[in-house]
Amino acid sequence: MDFALSEEQTAIFDMAYGFGQEHIAPFARQWEKDETIPKEIWPKIAELGFGGLYVSEDAGGSGLTRLDATLVFEALSMACPSVAAFLSIHNMCAKMLDSFASEELKSRIMGDVLSMNTVLSYCLTEPGSGSDAAALKTKCDRTNDGYTLNGTKAFISGGGYSDAYVAMVRTSDDGAAGVSTVYVEDGTAGLSFGGLEDKMGWRSQPTAQVQFDNCNIPAGNLVGEEGKGFKYAMMGLDGGRLNIAACSLGAAQTALTSTLQYMGDRKAFGKPIDQFQGLQWRLADMEIELQAARTFLRQAAWKLDTGAPDATKFCAMAKKFVTEAGSKVVDQCLQLHGGYGYLADYGIEKLVRDLRVHQILEGTNEIMRVIVARDMLKNR
Report yes or no: 185 and 67 within 8 Å, Cβ to Cβ.
no
Closest residue by Cα to residue 87 from 195, 191, 240 = 240
Spot the catalytic one: 7, 289, 362, 366: 362
CA distance 282 to 258: 14
User: According to DSSP H, which parts of the chain are helical?
Assistant: 7-23, 28-34, 41-46, 66-77, 81-100, 103-115, 229-265, 277-306, 311-336, 348-356, 365-378
CA distance 72 to 15: 8
φ and ψ at residue 222, rounded to 5 degrees: -70, 130
Q: Which DSSP string corresponds to 77-95?
A: HTT-HHHHHHHHHHHHHHH
362 noted as active-site residue? yes
* Residue 378: Cβ within 10 Å count: 8
Closest residue by Cα to residue 149 from 233, 226, 218 = 218
* Residue 276: Cβ within 10 Å count: 14
Ramachandran class of 335: left when φ > 0, alpha when ψ lies in -120 to 50, beta otherwise: alpha
* Residue 318: Cβ within 10 Å count: 28
CA distance 106 to 93: 12
CA distance 95 to 233: 11
Q: Which DSSP string corresponds to 163-182?
A: SEEEEEEESSSSGGGGEEEE
CA distance 71 to 86: 15
Q: Which DSSP string corresponds to 219-272?
A: GGGEESSTT-HHHHHHHHHHHHHHHHHHHHHHHHHHHHHHHHHHHHH-EETTEE
CA distance 179 to 166: 13
Indicate which residues carry an active-site annotation.
Answer: 362
